[in-house]
């Protein structure tokens, strides 16, 4: 467990926070996207999807599903949660470290994975708690605490406790990874092509099971860098368009075409363009293809602009999250008090609040005509 001075603070569940956290621990080419529905079409557009992270309000319940203790499950990176407040970061790590062959983890996280490969789940969890790199990245998003820190305040019975679990595909099996359990739970055989379709109903069933008493859920996808993916797709579309135009005009095909299309391999959406298909010989078909590609390029440029704006918004929000506004507020209130204005503002606010409560009571009274 982390000792005094090595605590893990509560951080906000937000894709911008998680994306920057991932970058701070040295991982490249990955971001987090919030999902508002289990929409297979949307998930297809976000590919590659490395894993899903589900946030829900935790409650104690019996779970009879067996822990997978097979040799195949030994290939899964699974760590017990031994740190308070680190649930979100641990869920992200579960996705990243189970995609080591597909993601550039960076030197530090690669070494961490190799060092802990033979550790049992509890020791993996302890290793996470003792990682200066991971803890520093996590705590960089700590919220300023004006009075009582999270470490000084124990959770009460009425407090909401939220928990994160991960869903990943490892060696042909779809797994649920919950750090509060003893090990991974094997959900179903799956492939890279169908695991998202398989996991959707399972998450939906969990949501429906809690629906009577729970309204807050959060689902996020750990995906490839959207800017890189959109750039590769746009360049592939431009290269194919240029090749089609060259055939129409009888000019030599551009040398960059093949490389651009090859560089976009593995990204979603290129199948619609027929990127690897031979160009049509018919002039009318070529003209139609050029028009379609122009439309696709325009759409991708628009998506790139949206992605750039979103990243800028994330950066600005993260700066605000880290800034401590408390000294400013304290001094502002102190200045108002010194000028004799604070008491009047408090009295006005109290009067408005009392008036609002009175109107609500009158509206709720029998015969008032209220709903």
**Within 13 Å of residue 189, how many CA atoms lie on the same side as its CB?**
0
Strands (DSSP E) contained in 36-184 are 49-57, 162-170, 173-177
Q: In the structure encoding, which two tokens stand for residue 28, read together?
A: 């490249």
Could you tell me which of 31, 9, 28 has the C-alpha nearest to residue 19?
A: 31
Say how far apart CA 84 and CA 27 lie, in whole Å.
24
Say how far apart CA 342 and CA 347 lie, in whole Å.
9
- Judge whether 323 counts as a catalytic residue: no
- Judge whether 353 counts as a catalytic residue: no
- Of 138, 163, 323, 353, the active-site residue reads 163
Say how far apart CA 128 and CA 124 lie, in whole Å.
6
Which element (helix H / strand E) includes 240? helix 226-249
- Of 87, 138, 323, 353, the active-site residue reads 87
How far, rounded to the nearest angstrom, does the alpha carbon of residue 303 sit from its chain's CA centroid? Answer: 19
Residue 370's CB is within 10 A of a number of other CB atoms, namely 10
Is residue 93 a contact partner of residue 10, using CB atoms and an 8 Å limit? no
Q: In the structure encoding, which two tokens stand for residue 290, read together?
A: 């050029």
Provide the annotated active-site residues.
Answer: 87, 163
């Amino acid at each position: 467990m982390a000792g005094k001075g090595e605590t893990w603070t509560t951080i906000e569940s937000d894709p911008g926070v998680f994306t920057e956290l991932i970058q701070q621990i040295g991982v490249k080419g990955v971001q987090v996207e919030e999902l508002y529905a289990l929409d297979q079409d949307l998930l297809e557009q976000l590919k590659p999807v490395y894993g899903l992270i589900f946030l829900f309000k935790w409650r104690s319940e019996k779970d009879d599903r067996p822990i997978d203790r097979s040799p195949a499950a030994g290939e899964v990176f699974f760590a017990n949660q031994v740190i308070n407040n680190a649930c979100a970061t641990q869920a992200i790590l579960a996705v990243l470290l189970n995609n080591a062959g597909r993601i550039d983890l960076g030197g530090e996280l690669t070494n961490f994975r190799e060092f802990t490969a033979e550790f049992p789940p509890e020791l993996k969890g302890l290793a996470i708690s003792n990682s200066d790199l991971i803890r520093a990245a996590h705590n960089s998003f700590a919220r300023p605490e004006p009075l009582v820190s999270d470490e000084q305040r124990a959770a009460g019975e009425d407090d909401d406790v939220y928990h994160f679990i991960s869903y990943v595909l490892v060696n042909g099996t779809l797994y649920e990874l919950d750090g509060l359990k003893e090990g991974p739970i094997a959900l179903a055989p799956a492939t890279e092509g169908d695991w998202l379709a398989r996991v959707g109903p399972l998450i939906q069933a969990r949501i429906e099971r809690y629906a009577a008493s729970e309204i807050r859920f959060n689902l996020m996808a750990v995906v490839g860098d959207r800017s890189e993916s959109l750039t590769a797709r746009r360049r592939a579309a431009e290269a194919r368009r240029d090749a089609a135009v060259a055939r129409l005009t009888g000019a030599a095909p551009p040398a960059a075409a093949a490389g651009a299309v090859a560089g976009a391999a593995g990204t979603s959406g290129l199948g619609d363009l027929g990127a690897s298909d031979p160009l049509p010989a018919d002039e009318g078909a070529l003209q139609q293809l050029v028009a379609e590609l122009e439309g696709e390029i325009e759409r991708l440029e628009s998506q790139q602009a949206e992605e750039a704006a979103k990243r800028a918004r994330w950066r600005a929000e993260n700066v605000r999250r880290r800034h401590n506004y408390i000294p400013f507020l304290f001094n502002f209130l102190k200045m108002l008090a010194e000028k004799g204005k604070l008491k009047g503002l408090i009295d006005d606010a109290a009067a408005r609040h009392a008036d609002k409560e009175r109107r609500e009571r009158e509206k709720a009274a029998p015969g008032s005509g209220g709903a």
